[in-house]
Amino acid sequence: MSLKVYQYPKCGTCKKALKWLDEHKIDYESIHIVDNPPSKEELASLVEKSGLPTKKFFNTSGKKYRELGLKDKIKEATNEEMIDWLASDGMLIKRPIVTDGDQVTVGFKEDSFEQAWNS
């Protein structure tokens, strides 16, 4: 099983996630989330497969999120608008996003990685 990992090299959380995958000898393809952000279609699919609300895909602690005032805009936004914002800038996306094509995890929590990817 090879995973796709959308990540940002300077992100501490991404580094922890990649280290975890390396330690567990899990193959993955690393994708730079800013240089190669997921398309609208990919994002919609990732959101659907994750079972999470679209707003959970936002990097709420990011500078770009604050600059655009998305905290207030998200409350009224449609799913399509949120996907458009996410697709417009990789820095808006919470990372890492890890998928095997069926399952999706967003961010890094060791217990959720253990459950999803260490089978």
Tokens of 54: 């679209």
Q: Which residues are CB-contacts of 24 (< 8 A; sequence separation ≥ 6)? A: 117, 118
Give residue 65's identity as a one-letter amino acid code.
Y
Q: Using a pLDDT cut of 90, give the percent of the chain over it.
A: 97
Tokens of 29: 């393809």
Output the pLDDT for position 18. 98
Q: pTM for this one?
A: 0.94
Classify the C-alpha dihedral 85-87-88-92 as positive or negative: positive
| pLDDT level of residue 1 (50, 70, 90 thresholds) | low
**pLDDT higher than threshold 90 for residue 119:** no
**pLDDT higher than threshold 70 for residue 39:** yes
Coil, helix or strand at residue 97: strand
CATH code linked to domain 3-117? 3.40.30.10
Domain ranges across the chain:
3-117
**Cα 82 from Cα 76, distance rounded (Å):** 10
Q: What is the mean pLDDT of residues 95-115?
A: 96
Coil, helix or strand at residue 51: coil
